[in-house]
Structure 1
Amino acid sequence: MTNFARIGMAALGLVSLAQTASAGGWDAGTLDTSFMYNEGGYTELSTAPITSNVKANIQGQTTKHKMAKDQTRSSFAIKMAYGDFDVGLVSYMSGAIQLDGQSAHAAGCNPATAAVALCSVVPSADVKMNSLAVLGRYKFSDAFSVMAGANRYSVGSGSSVTTLAGYYEVSGEQIVPTYGAAYEMSDIALRIELIAQPQTNMSNFTAKSSLASSIATTAVSGESMKIPQTMTLNFQSGIAEDTLLFGSVRQANWKNAQIDIPVNGSVSDVGSSFANKTSYSFGLGRKFTDEFSGSISYATEAGGGSTTTDAFTLRNGHQTINIGGRYTMDNMTLSGGLSYTKTGDVELTHASTLTASYKDNTVTAFGLKVGFSF
Structure 2
Amino acid sequence: MIYTGSRTDAENSLAGALARQIGYTSAAYSLPRILSVLEFFRDRPSGYKQELLAFLKSHQAETEGSEGYLEEVINFAVAMKLVEVVSSSHATLQRLAPTETGRSVSGALASGDENFARYYIARTVLIADADYSFPVLKYCAAKPDVDVKNYFLDFQHNLRLRRHEWLRQIFPDRVLFSRIADSVGWLRKGKGLLADYEAERLTLNTARHHTTPRLGWLSYLGLIEGERRITALGRDLVAALEGRKHYFWLGPPSGVQEALRIPPDKCMHGPFEDTFTLSALESSPPTAADVANLIDRLAHIMSVGYAAAKLIHAPQASLVLSIEFIRYTGYIEQKDYQWETVLDEFFTVKKSEFERFSAKRGQIGFYRPKGNAEQT
Give 1 or 2: higher helix fraction: 2
Give 1 or 2: higher strand fraction: 1
TM-score (norm 2): 0.24
TM-score (norm 1): 0.24
